Structure 1
């Protein structure tokens, strides 16, 4: 779950809904990536679907658990389940998703996290043995695109339309030696500088709005136009 603080409560956004928006960014990339890469990006958080069916509260923070503080054991089960699901459909996409999640634990000291990292490294080795040299050489740049699209979607999830208040992306987005800066043209129109997209498009982010006490006030959808500035 992704939590966005509001003036009088909070918005909750499901992880797979965020992942779907990541896929929208990939679909409109100027150099449109291959289908396996687009599949990995859109479905990289599919393992969260079961966890996000219910809202679980963190007794320490007094707010719902998010992907940041969710209990490690449940989170790792979701990660593994999601990569398994992707692998059943596309082995190259699964290798990308596995690398993405494994990168979270490169400096892990927790025994459970270390075991997950080791298991995913074995998965990657198994999948990469089936690839030719050229295909393996694409893994790093394709993973970089996955992480960028993930960040672009998180930017929209963390920030109310028209704002850039979350600290993670105030200095823009780094990708392959480039930096992209977000600019709100209007409250629901976003442009990146420089523009990396083939055409303007619209993304939709469903959310559930809660009071501080946890009562559901309403549900809604943020509709944001990603503008290239080239029309």
Structure 2
């Protein structure tokens, strides 16, 4: 779950919904044609393992707020990561390898035994998947992983910031797009552009959300729509 605090309420976005919006961003990039065709599938499906976890809000009793994807307990989270990668890899080996690389990168330098084991198993999976690829596909994996992470950040920017604001620390200085620094600029609370503009045309992204209050009661459900302008 992606969690944005809003006064005494919490705005919640399901991870898989956010990933689908990541793919919406990818499809509108001017340069999308230079990436592997399976990259967009990987972007759209990279958080599919969260679907079961996000059916319910898991409450962080110590912090008195919902757990977010950033601090969700590893016990249920790691098997969900693995199941999601399994699903993607069964459909598309290249996309599965990208998702595996994405998740393995979260645990570089960690000491938790379960996280270390997860990373080691994913590195082994990547080698198996690469063995069935053409050399030019293997050469393109790191490029396409950067695309996945960039589009992931575009969607996270929309979810983690109040419309019209850029306060979440990850994005205050912009985002890296293959060596170029892209700055998000709000034209209004519902209109967003990036400078320099990486997109070929204006489009709208829409993501469902729900709101719970501090008493853990559901308050609202709706759709957040943002117009991306060029």
Are the aligned partners of 2:36 and 2:140 in contact in 1 as well (CA < 8 Å)? Answer: no
Aligned partner (choices 178, 181, 184) of residue 179 of structure 1: 181
Displacement after TM superposition at 1:130 (Å): 1.0
Displacement of 1:35 in angstroms is: 2.8
Equivalent residue runs for 1:50-199 within 5 Å: 50-199=52-201
The RMSD of aligned alpha carbons is 0.9
Deviation sequence 1:26-55 (CA, Å, 0-9, x none): 111112244300000011000000000011
Offset at residue 186 of structure 1 (A): 1.2
Confirm or deny: 8 A CA contact 2:183 2:195 kept in the other structure.
yes
User: What is the CA–CA distance in structure 2 between the aligned matches of 1:55 and 1:10, rounded to whole Å?
Assistant: 11
**Distance in 1 separating the partners of 2:29 and 2:139:** 20
Q: Give 1:105 deviation, angstroms.
A: 0.5
Bigger shift: residues 48-57 or 31-40: 31-40
Contact 2:209–2:221 under 8 Å retained in 1: yes
Residue 161 of structure 1 contacts residue 222 of structure 1 at CA under 8 Å; is this kept in 2?
no
Q: Deviations over 1:165-197 (max 9, x none)?
A: 111100000122111000001110100001111
SS of 1:145's partner is helix
How far apart, in 2, do the equivalents of 1:34 and 1:139 lie? 9
Q: Matched residue of 1:4: which SS?
A: strand
Cα distance in 2, alignment partners of residues 80 and 165 from structure 1? 32
Q: Give the conservation status (yes or no) of the 8 Å contact 2:57–2:66.
A: yes
The equivalent residue for 1:14 is 14
Deviation of 1:212 after TM superposition, in Å, equals: 1.5
Partner-residue secondary structure (3-state), 1:140? helix
Q: Name the residue aligned to 1:4.
A: 4
Deviations 1:119-169 (A, max 9, x none): 000000001111121111100110000000000100000011111111110
2:184/2:193 contact within 8 Å kept: yes
Q: Could you tell me which runs of 5 or more consecutive residues in structure 2 were left unpaired when the two chains were aligned.
A: none
Structure 2 contact 36–144 (Cα < 8 Å) conserved: no
The equivalent residue for 1:31 is 31
TM-score, normalising length: structure 1:
0.97
Q: Distance in 2 between matches of 1:211 and 1:122?
A: 43
Secondary structure in structure 1 of the residue aligned to 2:193 = strand
- Counterpart of 1:221 (choices 217, 220, 223) is 223
Identify the residue that residue 41 of structure 1 maps to in structure 2.
Answer: 43
